Amino acid sequence: MFRYVSDNPVNFAPRWALPAMLTRAARLAWLLVGILSLSLGAIGIALPLLPTTPFILVAALAFARSSTRLHDWLITHNIFGPLIDNWQRYGAISRRAKVVSVTSMAILIALSLALAAPVSVIVLQLVVLALAALFILSRPAPPPG
């Protein structure tokens, strides 16, 4: 279903050709998902309650299915590129990203408690965020260097 755009052995991050099956509407939908995810990930850099890494990974996936140009830009970006590279090469999340993610989840729960959110909302947050934290913490750290 997928094929390499270039068989150049120097290309460390292989670029996938867009599947011919994707229609223009599907590529547009993936593009919108990518832009939304990238926007949320960028906001997450400044806003500690919003995790960056998952949104950037979704944006990379969405751009890989919609726009080779945006995908290439994202994976070579100074800030976002290393997050994607660690995930693609090692299935890993850096220690810093883990700490920031889990800390932001804890802050969100604390904020919900402080604002006296309904118990059902707090329980839902606890379940979803606990599962997300378990997944994030279960990922290995990338090798040093």
pLDDT by residue for the chain (145 residues), tens only, comes to: 444 444 444 344 444 545 555 688 888 999 999 999 999 988 887 776 677 878 888 999 999 999 999 999 999 999 888 888 888 889 899 898 889 888 888 988 999 999 999 999 999 999 988 998 898 899 999 998 6
Q: Which domain holds residue 53?
A: 24-138
Q: Is residue 9 part of a domain?
A: no
Q: Decide if 5 is inside a domain.
A: no
> Is residue 7 domain-resident?
no
In a domain, residue 114? The reply is: yes
Question: Tokens for 50?
Answer: 């919003």
- Our count of domains for the chain comes to 1
Residue 33 has what pLDDT? 96
- C-alpha to C-alpha distance for 72 and 64, rounded to whole angstroms: 8
In a domain, 18, yes or no: no
Contacts of 72 (CB under 8 A, 6+ apart): 15
